[in-house]
Structures are given as C-alpha cells and as structure tokens.
Amino acid sequence: MLADSAVVEEWPVWLEVNGEPAVTWMCTPGQLEELATGWLHGEGYIETLDDLVKLRPCATDLGFWAEVKPERVALVQGDDRRRVLASGCGAVSTFLADPPAVRHTAARGEPPPPETLRALFKQLFARGARYNETGGIHAAALTDNATLEFHAEDIGRHNAVDKVIGAAVIARQPLAGRGLLVTGRISAELAYKAARAGLAYVATPSVPSTLALTIAQRSGMVLVGRAVSGTPHIHRPDA
C-alpha cells in the first residue's frame, strides 16, 4: 500500500573522468558505484572492470572521480557522436550514437515464452520495495530467463539500467546473451546501452520508441513491448 505522503528521493550525483567533468545524474541515492560503473560501460569508457583503473567517491559530496585507461578515453572522443538531451530522467545530457554507427551483428538470442516473461516481471515488481512504497520509481533487472540476477530501482529508468549493468561488470559476470527487464518505455538511449552490453533482448510492460527499434535492428537485439499482456509485441531484428 502506498504511503499517504509518499515521495521519491532525488539527488544530483556527479562524475569526473580522468579529471574532466563527464556527467551529472539526477538519481535515487543507492547503488551509486554501480551507477557510475554502468554509465562508463554504456558510454564506451570501459569494456570490463580491468579498464577502470580507479573509482573514488567524494568524501564531502555525492560524486565520483574515475580514472580509466587513456586509450579508452581516446576511443570515446574519437567516436562520431553528438551530445543530445536524454528523453527520460537521469543524466542532464548524454552521448548517443547515431543508428548507422551501431555495429550490425547477428541475432543474439530469443526471449523466453510469454508466460515465463510475465513470471519474471512478477518477480521484478515484487522486489520493488521503493515502488511498493511510493509508486513513483523505475526498476530494471538482468535475467538468464530463469531468475533475476541483478536488480535496481531509480527515479530514472536509464539510471536503473546503468545500475544493473554496473553491478554485473563489478561482479565480473557476463552480459552477453542476457535479457534486460525494464518498467518504463525503451528509449534510444536505453536500447544503445543494452546493445553495447551485448544483451539478447529488452522487455517492458510499455513500448519501445522508433529509434530504439532501429538500434535493436542493427545490433541484432530483440525488443518486447507490452510484455506482461496476453499478446506481447515482439520486435525481432531482420534475418
């Protein structure tokens, strides 16, 4: 049951990469190391935990200093990207690759049957302590199609995704071929993060955007909309 005066925590958290300001998130405090690590992965600064030389929290403010290998920074700076305003809560702005820049790959795998997917979402909703208290927060989880492996909640759906991807990177668990469950719509930014992680599919009770579909098509990733309904919308990449 929702509290009569339910509110959701939201705080700014900043990140510097190799001494330069990189991003400020508006986010729910908690799993902040995972948030920073997942964002670095999604932006291309790291592929594995070994690329992250150091991640140090600020002792007096909500923020982090990250040190990554210089060659990784050069790769990010050399990408053909433009800075855009994100479509959801979270970072004030983010790098988003144009769909033609997304690597075209073969299909990565299939989501489980609809009844299994609905059962996984039931687990996701049951784990949502903040959602059950306030009704005003997003959740995300990685899955091997049998269980939920990592779970996070955040006021921003992109932040929740960064947190679960970051948790897997920190745990040195493989991302390729896993599924991602999200409670909000699948935006282009979210699809790009999932594609970079090598995930097989992203599923949501909501719907994907047109640009998210384009990114998924190029990356060989399946998107599932209306995933908890009796007739989910399964968008498969072209053969």
Active site residues: 89
The DSSP bridge partners found for residue 55 are 66
Q: Cβ neighbours of residue 116 under 8 Å, at least 6 residues apart?
A: 145
Report whether 153 contacts 131 (CB < 8 A).
Answer: yes
Q: Does residue 167 contact residue 152 with C-beta atoms inside 8 Å?
A: yes
Query: Which secondary structure element, helix H or strand E, spans residue 26, and what is its range?
Result: strand 20-27
Relative orientation angle of helices 210-219 and 188-196, to the nearest 10 degrees? 20
Strands 63-68 and 11-17: parallel
Considering Cα of 131, then 137, then 138, then 142, what sign does the dihedral take? negative
Pairing relationship of beta strands 148-154 and 138-143 according to DSSP bridges: antiparallel
Coil, helix or strand at residue 86 = coil
- State the number of CA atoms in the 13 A half-sphere of 20 facing the CB: 6
Judged by DSSP in three states, 202 sits in strand
Tokens of 228: 């908890």
